[in-house]
Amino acid sequence: MRRVKLDEIDLRILRDLQNNGRITNVELARRAGISAPPCLRRVRALEDSGYIRGYHAELDTEALGFEVTFFVLVGLDSQSEAVLSEFQALVTDWAEVRECHMVRGAGDFVLKIVARNTAHENELTEQLTAAAHVTTVQTIQVIRTSKYRPGVPIRPNGQM
């Protein structure tokens, strides 16, 4: 994938799209200080080069019946590529696992998981504990989220 060299206008477009993925191209162009056709070409180039990976709606987990969010630190009995890949395949197919990160330092993976309630959280934790190659499972339940900001910081002056 060929990366385009980002200029200040590209960074402004990225920042505005990150803040509001539903912004119209006309409004995006106005904010970037360019006309709509070149703005659309820039957005397409940013998509094609991989800077923009997709668009999604942010859903309210509690309103949809998932009252518990928790993180899990998982340790495996081996760090061989076969074992790591097997674990990643397991959690990829697990709908409640919303994020999976291989980590260094403490454990092998950190997962972000949503559950309907505490009983469901316990059920998911038991399934995880019973999974092949899993040796340790440490859960951390979220009490309150005071900040949630996906993406990366892009400063108003175009600096990252």
CATH of the domain at 25: 1.10.10.10
The answer to whether residues 137 and 94 belong to one domain is yes
Is residue 133 a contact partner of residue 78, using CB atoms and an 8 Å limit? Answer: yes
pLDDT at residue 5, rounded to an integer: 86
pLDDT at residue 31, rounded to an integer: 97
CATH of the domain at 129: 3.30.70.920
The answer to whether residues 75 and 32 belong to one domain is no
Residue 135 lies in a domain: yes
Per-residue model confidence as pLDDT tens digits over 39-67? 999 999 999 999 999 999 999 999 999 99
Which domain range does residue 82 map to? 68-141
HEC assignment per residue over 96-115: CEEEEEECCCCCCEEEEEEE
Q: What total of structural domains would you count in the chain?
A: 2
Per-residue model confidence as pLDDT tens digits over 100-124? 999 998 899 999 999 999 999 999 9
The answer to whether residues 80 and 112 belong to one domain is yes
